Amino acid sequence: MKKIVFGFDDEFYLPQAELKQLKENYMNQFQFVELMNDTIPEGVSIEDAVAFIGGPSSELLQKMPHLRWLQLPSAGANHFARHPDLANDVILTNSSGVFGVLGAEHTIAMVLALTRELPLYVRQTERHLWKLSDHCLQIDGSTVAIIGYGDIGSEIAHRLKAFGARILAVKRTAGKVPKDADAVFDLSKFTDVLNASDFVINVLPLTKETEQLFNAAHFNSMKKGTIFINVGRGGTVDENALIEAVESGRVGGAALDVTAQEPLPKESRLWELPNVLITSHSLGAGPGKYKKRTDLIRRNLKKFSNGQQLENSVDRSIGY
Protein backbone atom coordinates (compact mmCIF):
# COMPACT_ATOMS: atom_id res chain seq x y z
CA MET A 1 0.00 0.00 0.00
CA LYS A 2 1.24 3.50 -0.86
CA LYS A 3 2.39 5.60 2.04
CA ILE A 4 1.77 9.14 3.16
CA VAL A 5 4.47 10.38 5.52
CA PHE A 6 3.93 13.03 8.17
CA GLY A 7 7.11 14.78 9.22
CA PHE A 8 6.36 16.30 12.61
CA ASP A 9 8.58 18.47 14.79
CA ASP A 10 8.17 20.79 17.76
CA GLU A 11 6.42 23.40 15.61
CA PHE A 12 4.37 21.23 13.26
CA TYR A 13 2.10 18.47 14.45
CA LEU A 14 -1.51 17.30 14.22
CA PRO A 15 -3.73 16.46 17.19
CA GLN A 16 -3.83 12.71 17.77
CA ALA A 17 -7.62 12.67 17.38
CA GLU A 18 -7.33 14.31 13.98
CA LEU A 19 -4.56 11.96 12.87
CA LYS A 20 -6.59 8.95 13.98
CA GLN A 21 -9.58 10.18 11.98
CA LEU A 22 -7.46 10.66 8.86
CA LYS A 23 -6.05 7.15 9.17
CA GLU A 24 -9.56 5.74 9.39
CA ASN A 25 -10.75 7.79 6.41
CA TYR A 26 -7.96 6.54 4.14
CA MET A 27 -7.25 3.09 5.57
CA ASN A 28 -8.10 1.44 2.26
CA GLN A 29 -5.94 3.82 0.18
CA PHE A 30 -2.86 4.80 2.13
CA GLN A 31 -0.68 3.74 4.99
CA PHE A 32 0.29 6.67 7.21
CA VAL A 33 3.81 6.91 8.63
CA GLU A 34 4.71 9.39 11.37
CA LEU A 35 8.22 10.77 11.76
CA MET A 36 9.45 13.02 14.54
CA ASN A 37 12.36 15.35 13.78
CA ASP A 38 13.23 13.43 10.59
CA THR A 39 13.69 10.13 12.43
CA ILE A 40 12.31 7.08 10.62
CA PRO A 41 10.94 4.44 13.02
CA GLU A 42 13.02 1.29 13.17
CA GLY A 43 11.95 -1.30 10.60
CA VAL A 44 9.94 1.23 8.55
CA SER A 45 10.68 2.07 4.92
CA ILE A 46 9.45 5.25 3.21
CA GLU A 47 10.68 4.25 -0.25
CA ASP A 48 7.10 3.80 -1.48
CA ALA A 49 5.87 7.13 -0.06
CA VAL A 50 3.82 9.14 -2.55
CA ALA A 51 3.22 12.16 -0.31
CA PHE A 52 5.08 13.92 2.47
CA ILE A 53 3.43 16.42 4.78
CA GLY A 54 6.06 18.50 6.55
CA GLY A 55 9.49 19.90 5.77
CA PRO A 56 11.73 16.97 4.84
CA SER A 57 15.51 16.97 4.97
CA SER A 58 17.59 16.21 1.89
CA GLU A 59 18.28 12.77 3.30
CA LEU A 60 14.56 12.01 3.56
CA LEU A 61 13.85 13.30 0.06
CA GLN A 62 16.49 10.97 -1.34
CA LYS A 63 14.73 8.03 0.31
CA MET A 64 11.40 8.78 -1.43
CA PRO A 65 11.93 8.20 -5.16
CA HIS A 66 8.20 7.85 -5.87
CA LEU A 67 7.12 11.07 -4.18
CA ARG A 68 4.33 12.87 -6.01
CA TRP A 69 3.28 15.58 -3.53
CA LEU A 70 5.03 17.64 -0.84
CA GLN A 71 2.81 19.70 1.49
CA LEU A 72 4.78 22.26 3.47
CA PRO A 73 3.62 23.42 6.92
CA SER A 74 5.01 26.89 6.17
CA ALA A 75 3.94 29.64 3.79
CA GLY A 76 7.49 30.10 2.50
CA ALA A 77 8.55 27.61 -0.15
CA ASN A 78 11.81 29.06 -1.46
CA HIS A 79 13.96 26.33 0.09
CA PHE A 80 12.08 23.59 -1.77
CA ALA A 81 11.11 25.28 -5.04
CA ARG A 82 14.48 24.50 -6.62
CA HIS A 83 15.64 21.82 -4.21
CA PRO A 84 18.09 19.49 -6.01
CA ASP A 85 16.62 16.43 -4.26
CA LEU A 86 13.00 17.22 -5.11
CA ALA A 87 12.06 15.88 -8.55
CA ASN A 88 10.62 18.40 -10.98
CA ASP A 89 7.34 16.52 -11.30
CA VAL A 90 6.58 16.61 -7.56
CA ILE A 91 3.66 18.92 -6.75
CA LEU A 92 4.70 21.41 -4.09
CA THR A 93 2.05 23.06 -1.92
CA ASN A 94 2.47 25.50 0.93
CA SER A 95 0.39 26.71 3.86
CA SER A 96 -0.49 30.12 2.50
CA GLY A 97 -3.64 31.42 4.18
CA VAL A 98 -2.76 29.88 7.52
CA PHE A 99 -0.64 32.74 8.87
CA GLY A 100 -2.46 35.85 7.62
CA VAL A 101 -4.08 36.96 10.87
CA LEU A 102 -1.14 35.98 13.06
CA GLY A 103 1.27 37.69 10.69
CA ALA A 104 -0.79 40.86 10.58
CA GLU A 105 -1.13 41.08 14.35
CA HIS A 106 2.61 40.53 14.78
CA THR A 107 3.39 43.21 12.21
CA ILE A 108 1.01 45.71 13.80
CA ALA A 109 2.74 45.08 17.13
CA MET A 110 6.09 45.88 15.50
CA VAL A 111 4.76 49.04 13.87
CA LEU A 112 3.24 50.26 17.13
CA ALA A 113 6.39 49.41 19.09
CA LEU A 114 8.56 51.58 16.86
CA THR A 115 5.95 54.31 16.44
CA ARG A 116 5.58 54.73 20.20
CA GLU A 117 9.28 54.18 21.02
CA LEU A 118 8.56 51.08 23.12
CA PRO A 119 12.08 49.57 22.79
CA LEU A 120 13.44 52.78 24.36
CA TYR A 121 11.00 52.58 27.26
CA VAL A 122 11.81 48.91 27.83
CA ARG A 123 15.47 49.84 28.19
CA GLN A 124 14.58 52.72 30.51
CA THR A 125 12.38 50.43 32.60
CA GLU A 126 15.31 48.05 33.06
CA ARG A 127 17.38 51.03 34.31
CA HIS A 128 14.55 52.43 36.51
CA LEU A 129 14.72 55.60 34.42
CA TRP A 130 11.68 57.90 34.09
CA LYS A 131 12.27 60.02 31.00
CA LEU A 132 9.98 61.19 28.23
CA SER A 133 11.12 60.67 24.64
CA ASP A 134 10.93 63.72 22.43
CA HIS A 135 10.51 61.63 19.29
CA CYS A 136 7.29 59.88 18.38
CA LEU A 137 5.53 58.98 15.14
CA GLN A 138 1.88 58.54 14.18
CA ILE A 139 0.17 55.99 11.96
CA ASP A 140 -2.92 58.10 11.33
CA GLY A 141 -2.31 60.14 8.20
CA SER A 142 0.88 58.28 7.31
CA THR A 143 1.68 56.45 4.09
CA VAL A 144 2.50 52.76 4.42
CA ALA A 145 4.05 50.70 1.62
CA ILE A 146 3.29 47.00 1.80
CA ILE A 147 5.73 45.18 -0.45
CA GLY A 148 4.16 41.80 -1.19
CA TYR A 149 0.38 41.93 -1.00
CA GLY A 150 -0.60 38.32 -0.44
CA ASP A 151 -2.41 36.78 2.50
CA ILE A 152 -0.31 38.41 5.22
CA GLY A 153 0.13 41.69 3.35
CA SER A 154 -3.59 42.16 2.78
CA GLU A 155 -4.38 41.37 6.41
CA ILE A 156 -1.82 43.97 7.50
CA ALA A 157 -3.42 46.54 5.19
CA HIS A 158 -6.88 45.80 6.57
CA ARG A 159 -5.73 46.60 10.10
CA LEU A 160 -3.57 49.61 9.26
CA LYS A 161 -6.46 51.11 7.30
CA ALA A 162 -8.39 51.23 10.58
CA PHE A 163 -5.54 53.31 12.03
CA GLY A 164 -6.02 55.89 9.28
CA ALA A 165 -3.03 54.99 7.12
CA ARG A 166 -2.80 55.40 3.36
CA ILE A 167 -1.82 52.04 1.86
CA LEU A 168 0.41 51.58 -1.18
CA ALA A 169 0.46 47.97 -2.35
CA VAL A 170 3.36 46.57 -4.37
CA LYS A 171 2.73 43.32 -6.23
CA ARG A 172 4.46 41.31 -8.93
CA THR A 173 1.68 42.38 -11.29
CA ALA A 174 -0.17 45.59 -10.43
CA GLY A 175 -3.62 45.08 -11.96
CA LYS A 176 -6.74 46.20 -10.09
CA VAL A 177 -6.31 48.06 -6.80
CA PRO A 178 -6.79 45.38 -4.11
CA LYS A 179 -9.07 45.64 -1.12
CA ASP A 180 -7.89 48.06 1.61
CA ALA A 181 -5.20 49.56 -0.64
CA ASP A 182 -5.29 53.12 -1.98
CA ALA A 183 -3.03 52.37 -4.93
CA VAL A 184 -1.17 49.41 -6.42
CA PHE A 185 2.16 49.24 -8.22
CA ASP A 186 4.50 46.65 -9.65
CA LEU A 187 8.24 46.56 -8.95
CA SER A 188 9.00 48.96 -11.80
CA LYS A 189 7.67 51.72 -9.50
CA PHE A 190 9.42 50.35 -6.41
CA THR A 191 11.72 53.35 -5.88
CA ASP A 192 8.86 55.84 -6.24
CA VAL A 193 6.80 53.94 -3.64
CA LEU A 194 9.71 53.86 -1.18
CA ASN A 195 10.27 57.59 -1.60
CA ALA A 196 6.60 58.32 -0.83
CA SER A 197 6.27 56.14 2.29
CA ASP A 198 6.65 56.73 6.02
CA PHE A 199 6.57 53.02 6.79
CA VAL A 200 7.85 50.23 4.53
CA ILE A 201 6.68 46.72 5.32
CA ASN A 202 8.43 43.91 3.46
CA VAL A 203 6.35 40.72 3.10
CA LEU A 204 8.18 39.35 0.04
CA PRO A 205 9.11 35.72 -0.52
CA LEU A 206 12.71 34.95 -1.42
CA THR A 207 13.13 34.45 -5.15
CA LYS A 208 15.80 35.26 -7.73
CA GLU A 209 13.91 38.48 -8.39
CA THR A 210 13.67 39.55 -4.74
CA GLU A 211 17.07 38.44 -3.40
CA GLN A 212 18.66 41.49 -1.68
CA LEU A 213 16.06 43.72 -3.32
CA PHE A 214 16.37 46.04 -0.35
CA ASN A 215 19.90 47.23 -1.09
CA ALA A 216 21.80 50.45 -0.41
CA ALA A 217 20.27 52.24 -3.38
CA HIS A 218 16.75 51.40 -2.29
CA PHE A 219 17.35 52.34 1.35
CA ASN A 220 18.80 55.64 0.14
CA SER A 221 15.63 56.27 -1.86
CA MET A 222 13.50 56.19 1.30
CA LYS A 223 12.46 59.30 3.19
CA LYS A 224 14.79 60.20 6.04
CA GLY A 225 13.47 58.49 9.17
CA THR A 226 11.39 55.84 7.39
CA ILE A 227 10.42 52.86 9.54
CA PHE A 228 11.34 49.52 7.95
CA ILE A 229 9.65 46.25 8.87
CA ASN A 230 10.70 42.84 7.52
CA VAL A 231 8.29 39.95 7.98
CA GLY A 232 9.01 38.41 4.58
CA ARG A 233 12.33 36.63 4.10
CA GLY A 234 15.71 37.67 5.43
CA GLY A 235 17.47 37.11 2.11
CA THR A 236 15.46 39.91 0.49
CA VAL A 237 17.50 42.45 2.49
CA ASP A 238 21.14 43.46 2.22
CA GLU A 239 21.73 43.61 5.98
CA ASN A 240 24.95 45.62 5.73
CA ALA A 241 23.08 48.23 3.73
CA LEU A 242 20.30 48.20 6.32
CA ILE A 243 22.78 48.72 9.17
CA GLU A 244 24.31 51.68 7.34
CA ALA A 245 20.85 53.13 6.66
CA VAL A 246 19.87 52.83 10.33
CA GLU A 247 23.15 54.33 11.56
CA SER A 248 22.84 57.24 9.14
CA GLY A 249 19.24 57.94 10.14
CA ARG A 250 17.91 57.27 6.66
CA VAL A 251 15.97 54.44 8.29
CA GLY A 252 14.56 55.73 11.56
CA GLY A 253 14.02 52.28 13.01
CA ALA A 254 13.71 48.68 11.90
CA ALA A 255 11.80 45.67 13.15
CA LEU A 256 12.99 42.32 11.84
CA ASP A 257 11.18 39.05 12.29
CA VAL A 258 13.52 37.37 9.81
CA THR A 259 17.21 37.66 8.99
CA ALA A 260 19.45 36.34 6.24
CA GLN A 261 21.01 33.82 8.62
CA GLU A 262 18.85 32.30 11.33
CA PRO A 263 19.46 32.33 14.20
CA LEU A 264 21.04 35.74 13.74
CA PRO A 265 24.73 35.39 14.68
CA LYS A 266 25.60 36.89 18.05
CA GLU A 267 28.29 39.03 16.45
CA SER A 268 25.83 40.74 14.08
CA ARG A 269 25.77 44.51 14.52
CA LEU A 270 21.98 44.41 14.24
CA TRP A 271 21.83 43.30 17.88
CA GLU A 272 23.63 46.45 19.00
CA LEU A 273 21.49 49.08 17.28
CA PRO A 274 19.12 50.71 19.79
CA ASN A 275 16.38 51.35 17.26
CA VAL A 276 16.30 47.81 15.83
CA LEU A 277 13.79 45.31 17.18
CA ILE A 278 14.37 41.60 16.47
CA THR A 279 11.57 39.07 17.04
CA SER A 280 13.29 35.78 16.18
CA HIS A 281 11.03 34.56 13.35
CA SER A 282 8.08 34.33 15.73
CA LEU A 283 5.42 35.71 13.39
CA GLY A 284 3.74 32.31 13.07
CA ALA A 285 3.52 31.67 16.80
CA GLY A 286 -0.01 31.51 18.17
CA PRO A 287 -3.01 29.20 18.48
CA GLY A 288 -4.88 30.36 15.39
CA LYS A 289 -2.71 28.53 12.88
CA TYR A 290 -3.32 24.98 14.09
CA LYS A 291 -6.94 24.59 13.01
CA LYS A 292 -6.40 26.44 9.73
CA ARG A 293 -3.40 24.30 8.83
CA THR A 294 -5.13 21.08 9.85
CA ASP A 295 -8.16 22.01 7.74
CA LEU A 296 -5.90 22.74 4.75
CA ILE A 297 -4.14 19.38 5.09
CA ARG A 298 -7.47 17.60 5.37
CA ARG A 299 -8.79 19.27 2.20
CA ASN A 300 -5.62 18.59 0.22
CA LEU A 301 -5.49 14.96 1.33
CA LYS A 302 -9.02 14.49 0.04
CA LYS A 303 -8.14 16.15 -3.27
CA PHE A 304 -4.94 14.12 -3.60
CA SER A 305 -6.81 10.87 -2.98
CA ASN A 306 -9.35 11.84 -5.66
CA GLY A 307 -6.76 13.01 -8.20
CA GLN A 308 -7.97 16.61 -8.03
CA GLN A 309 -5.98 19.82 -8.22
CA LEU A 310 -4.47 20.72 -4.86
CA GLU A 311 -4.78 24.02 -3.02
CA ASN A 312 -1.81 26.37 -2.68
CA SER A 313 0.27 24.87 -5.47
CA VAL A 314 3.64 26.60 -5.71
CA ASP A 315 4.97 27.73 -9.07
CA ARG A 316 8.42 26.25 -8.65
CA SER A 317 9.86 28.40 -11.44
CA ILE A 318 9.30 31.59 -9.40
CA GLY A 319 9.34 30.15 -5.86
CA TYR A 320 5.82 30.86 -4.58
Q: What is the rounded CA–CA span in Å between residue 134 and residue 305?
A: 61
CATH number listed for the domain at residues 100-278:
3.40.50.720
**Phi–psi pair at 127, nearest 5 degrees:** -95, 0
Question: CB under 8 Å to 217, separation ≥6 — which residues?
Answer: none
Q: 192, 140 in Cβ contact below 8 A?
A: no
Residue 262 a catalytic site member: yes
Confidence band (pLDDT; 50, 70, 90) for 134?
confident
Task: Please tell me the predicted confidence (pLDDT) of residue 288.
Answer: 87
Compute the average pLDDT of residues 27-41: 96
Q: 262, 288 in Cβ contact below 8 A?
A: no
> What is the Cα Rg of the chain in Å?
22
Q: 3-class DSSP state for residue 207?
A: coil
Task: Please tell me the predicted confidence (pLDDT) of residue 275.
Answer: 95
Q: What is the pLDDT of residues 81-121, one digit of tens each?
A: 999 999 999 999 999 999 999 999 999 999 999 999 999 99
List 83, 281, 299, 316, catalytic entry: 281
Residue 218 a catalytic site member: no
Task: Please tell me the predicted confidence (pLDDT) of residue 123.
Answer: 96
Q: What is the pLDDT of residues 205-236, one digit of tens each?
A: 999 999 999 999 999 999 999 999 999 999 99
| Domains 3-98+287-305 and 100-278 in one fold | yes
Q: What is the pLDDT of residues 252-297, one digit of tens each?
A: 999 999 999 999 999 999 999 999 999 999 999 998 899 999 999 9
> In the CATH scheme, what is the homologous superfamily, with its name and number, of domain 3-98+287-305?
NAD(P)-binding Rossmann-like Domain (3.40.50.720)
List 106, 218, 233, 293, catalytic entry: 233
Task: Please tell me the predicted confidence (pLDDT) of residue 235.
Answer: 97
Q: What is the pLDDT of residues 38-97, one digit of tens each?
A: 999 999 999 999 999 999 999 999 999 999 999 999 999 999 999 999 999 999 999 999
Q: What is the rounded CA–CA span in Å between residue 51 and residue 105?
A: 33
Q: What is the pLDDT of residues 147-205, one digit of tens each?
A: 999 999 999 999 999 999 999 999 999 999 999 999 999 999 999 999 999 999 999 99
Residue 281 a catalytic site member: yes
Q: 3-class DSSP state for residue 245?
A: helix
Task: Please tell me the predicted confidence (pLDDT) of residue 276.
Answer: 98
The residue among 305, 302, 300, 264 whose CA lies nearest residue 282 is 264
Domain boundaries, the chain: 3-98+287-305, 100-278
